[in-house]
Amino acid sequence: MTDDIPEVRTKHPYLMYEMLKETPKALKTTLKNVIDEEIDFRRGSVTVTGNGTSYHAGVLGFQSISDENKPWNHIQSYELENYKTPGNNIVAFSHTGKTYSTVQSIRKYPEKFSVGVTHDQNSSLAQISSKSIVIQEKDKSLCNTKAFFDNSLASLIIANKYEKSKYDYEGFISMIDKNLMRADIEMNSIVKEIGKVKNIFVLGAGNNFIAARETAQKLKEATHIHSEGIELEEYNHGCTSVTNKDTLLINICNREDTSRVKQINRGIKYVGAKSIGIGGPGDFEIELDVRNSFELPIQAITYTYFFAYHLAVKLGINPDILRFDEKDYYDFDMEIFPEGQH
């Protein structure tokens, strides 16, 4: 099954909220634990792999480097296990270190140099990887928001070791700290005003696409509302037919996307849908102090996580337990992930 079911709370603050608030402190611990790790990458490209939140975090960290100078790609671990071939180096992310397809994708390629990033030093991933990196922070909510930021920073550090470049990690942590404080207040206010929502599309292009995917996952986990993370332009091919007055669009927006996002926002008004613009236009707008295109999606996620949290609270949902307090959903998860496989 999945991680152990956490302490069950019945009202705000839930564990997800506490984990978000603990993120800056946890990032300082992660930086201390990872910064001095030596990684002897082999000649050739890097493949980033994992599942869900861990995978998204790994990709977001590596987006900080230029793939022209140091080639890398990302392949979800089931695809890597069954269909794709990695580069000479694999960097695998798993919060528990026991996610089945992630572990299997490393086992399949023993000849490759592998880096396993996990929060459990006794896990399978830590044991079988050529190099294990253990993040000494525990996320008590099954939404794993704090773990996402820890993994993102670890990925950023690993990527810059691969590229042999330097990054302002303290500035990165400070940026997240500042945004978390703002996001809590601003997203709570938006949730109170947003009205009824039954269907959510999260749009992003370029570096923001993976952030759209992660946001949609967190919305599903925390609020149980159907959410889809989709590339900005792909939304216009099919999704318009299921957009209506109960639909919310969350646009994670670069400057280059502004014109197209404005068009989409005008279009959805014909069917009564609402929009949040993060870094761009919307019915509700969040301004970001963007230093570079890599940091924009990370900043955006600080806001979308709090939006997911406060929407869950508004709906009377515990965002910590993914419905595993309900027998049918617990059995569902046990069937998909037998003990020791998630």
Model confidence pLDDT, tens digit, residues 3-20: 577 899 999 999 999 999
Q: pLDDT-derived band of residue 71, with 50, 70 and 90 as boundaries?
A: very high
Of 59-68, 90-99, 110-119, 257-266, minimum mean pLDDT range = 59-68
What pLDDT is recorded for position 6?
84
**Region 125-131: what's the mean pLDDT?**
98
What pLDDT is recorded for position 3?
55
From residue 158, alpha-carbon distances to 38, 164, 228, 297, 331 in Å are: 9, 10, 29, 18, 37
The alpha carbon of residue 166 and the mean position of all alpha carbons in its chain are separated, in whole angstroms, by 23
Residue 126 has pLDDT above 70, yes or no: yes
What pLDDT is recorded for position 289?
86
Cα(328)–Cα(325) distance, integer angstroms: 9
Amino acid letter, 13:
P
What pLDDT is recorded for position 342?
79
What pLDDT is recorded for position 199?
97
Cα(238)–Cα(171) distance, integer angstroms: 41
What pLDDT is recorded for position 137?
87
What pLDDT is recorded for position 136?
83
Kindly report the average pLDDT of the chain as a whole number: 95
| Sign of the CA dihedral with 320 first, then 322, 326, and 331 last | negative
What pLDDT is recorded for position 221?
98
Residue 340 has pLDDT above 90, yes or no: no
Q: What's this model's pTM, rounded to 2 decimal places? A: 0.97
Domains and CATH numbers, the chain: 15-169 (3.40.50.10490), 172-314 (3.40.50.10490)
Q: Give the tokens for residue 319.
A: 């965002």
Of 1-15, 144-158, 226-240, minimum mean pLDDT range = 1-15
What pLDDT is recorded for position 194?
96
Residue 272 has pLDDT above 60, yes or no: yes
Cα(8)–Cα(15) distance, integer angstroms: 9
What pLDDT is recorded for position 68?
75
**Region 244-260: what's the mean pLDDT?**
97
What pLDDT is recorded for position 1?
41
Strand ordering across the sheet containing 113-118: 72-74, 46-50, 89-93, 113-118, 131-134
What's the pLDDT tens digit per position in 195-212? 999 999 999 999 999 999
